[in-house]
Amino acid sequence: MSDQVAPTDTLYAVADFCLIPMGLPVPSVGPQIAECQRVLEKSGLEYKVGACGERGYGTNIEGPWDAVMTVIGECHRAVHAMGTPRIATDIRIGTRTDKSISSGGNDGKVKRVEEILASRS
């Protein structure tokens, strides 16, 4: 039934995730975050480090659904390999078929809100 929608290896997705290492004796998680960022860099996908509350990590990443999800999984692997026994990640991910989001993405939305506010004040 969903043949007319792009399969998951091409379905464009915009995501925002927070990866939280657990079972580490110190509350700060800078080294794990840095390791994850190296994985993101190698992926070739568009990403932007962001903070999301007092979480371990938050970043935006966009690209084809499968590629985005594999990269986040690779972050888990890399952080486990550093000796982290347990990882909990929260991912917000969106897709749309009404218009292309393959350019602009997260940045485009911030701009749009700013325009609406400017036009009303």
Footprint (CB under 8 A) of a copy of itself, residues 93-112:
93-98, 101, 105-107, 109-110, 112
Confirm if 62 and 46 have CB atoms less than 8 A apart: yes
CB 21 within 8 A of CB 87: yes
Give the count of residues interacting with a copy of itself (CB under 8 A).
Answer: 79
- Is 45 an interacting residue with respect to a copy of itself (CB under 8 A)? no
| Matching residue, tokens 């043949």 | 3
Least gap, CB of 41 to a copy of itself (angstroms): 9
Site residues for a copy of itself, 14-33, by CB under 8 A, read: 14-16, 18, 20-31, 33
